[in-house]
Structure 1
Amino acid sequence: MTTYARDERAALASTLLDVGPAAPTLDEGWAARDLAAHVVLREGRPDLAAGVFVAALAGRTERAQAELAHGDWDELVARVRCGPPRWSPLGWGPVHEQVNLLELFVHHEDVRRGGAGWSPRELPAGMEQALWVQLRRAAPVLTRSTPTALVLSRTPGHDEVRLHARRGRTTTVRGLVPELVLWVFGRVAAARVEVSGDADTVGAAEDALGV
């Protein structure tokens, strides 16, 4: 069984310790401490994390996240490193890999690319393929708000995903798998991709995704 998600979790925790709690991230308004608190809430308190998706619960989520974020930093990062509690299905073997790899990769890059001087990582080929498989599955939902058709084209090679074909105008995004993941997750300014289509079409797609 692959352990890419577990490896990415360990790498995220190490990067968090390296940059410190006040480091900027790609998530607007979040420092590293806020991102770490979000990861812990998502995995250990899904009832409190629900406010990310349900507006009526947002205040409760924000309060819980702020309390975690301003606690002991080393303890918070240790909780990120340890992962979901034993009772949580999010921590169970193959489930952990399938549910957490994209999330942990994106949040690791949120921290890495939040400041100056970053460069893309060279990932193992197996991890890139795992990201691609999971992106193909998740992209229809993640891009549901885009008003245009999308083509995600993987480089090198010609493998691609076509989405929302009935929406007419098309935005084509071409790049390495990690960069496509970041673009689909709304990190459009930080993703090193080639985007083609008329300006209005591209702008509408990126506005719909942007963090």
Structure 2
Amino acid sequence: MNDYILGIIFSIGYISRGRFIFKNKNKYFLEQIQKVCGNNIYKQKDKKNVQYVLSTKYFDIERLKSIGWNNRNSDIRKLPKLNQYDNFLRAYIELHSRFDYSTRYRSKRKKTKYKALRLRIYGNRVLIREINEILSTDANIALKSPQSEKNDKTSYIAYTSINEIKSIFQYIEEKPCFNAFWNEIENKLRIPIIV
């Protein structure tokens, strides 16, 4: 199991009735897990959404806990103890980030608006603090002030500098990767500002 797959396990895995369960709307992430454990992926539908699900007993839960894993809905989650985080963070950012445009102003008088790219990475406070520190050191970008969501459990760090966003993606860029995510990044980086 490589660090990219470990990033998927930490991002979307949880335990139910002694089995690891993985759910996501993008089948790709479950196919990465399937390469390791071989279990079948099935489709689960509710009134509005389709999710893909994989259930397995393949992974040693105690071993994963020994490197820092805990259920995805836990209040406190930490990063595993790894030598390098680029592959792990590639999976995590593909699953737990949002790449959009935020409204900004050209002058202090706030008369002229424009929209510019923003990258937000989500997680609980502890995990976001750790990601913030790793990206600051390894991707050579400034530390950010984490923001809290209304639910008071989720935090995020936001990057609005195009150079910092590019540095993050250069740091985590490699294979395997979720192509749809990277295609969206390439398209938006071509048009970083909307007037």
Q: Provide TM-score, normalisation by structure 1.
A: 0.34
Greater helix share, structure number:
1
Q: Provide TM-score, normalisation by structure 2.
A: 0.35
Greater strand share, structure number:
2
